[in-house]
Amino acid sequence: MKLIIIDNKKVRLNRIIDWIIYMFGYALVLITVSIVFKSVTIDPSYYGLYGLIAAIIIYTLNKTVKPIIFLLTLPITGLTMGLFYPFINILILKITDFILGDYFETTGIFSLFFVAILISVMNILMELFVIKPILYKGGKNG
């Protein structure tokens, strides 16, 4: 299995590796937030498992549903100069809450706004400090 795929002069990370990196990041953020804040609650019986399942659902929704929601809310996101964008992440968290039921619960709009910002920051940090360095090294060697 190749770590880096180069096609048509474009360098990208293997989808499985990309998936594993983001699952680790999402699960880490969700578990940390559920320990520190009361706005996100993960069922303590299988804490890590439900954190990972929530991370998988969030990742899947971010890759499938989020682009559609973004396009539908593009006018309001533009009018608010991007300030509406975290509310899309809040919606993704609420959908995850709905799917997992009692095993993953979220409360409060302002605390979820903070969690959504943390997830966005985690995405940026993963991109800058993990994915881009891997791609840079792979592009030089490839």
Residue 18 structural domain: 4-136
How many domains, the chain? 1
- Of the two residues 74 and 11, the one the predictor is more confident about is 74
Give the pLDDT score at 101: 92
Average model confidence (pLDDT) across the chain: 86
Q: Is residue 142 part of a domain?
A: no
Give the C-alpha separation, 66 to 86, whole Å.
11
pLDDT at 142 over 60: no
pLDDT at 133 over 90: no
Q: Is residue 141 part of a domain?
A: no
Start-to-end Cα distance in the chain: 15
Give the C-alpha separation, 74 to 66, whole Å.
12
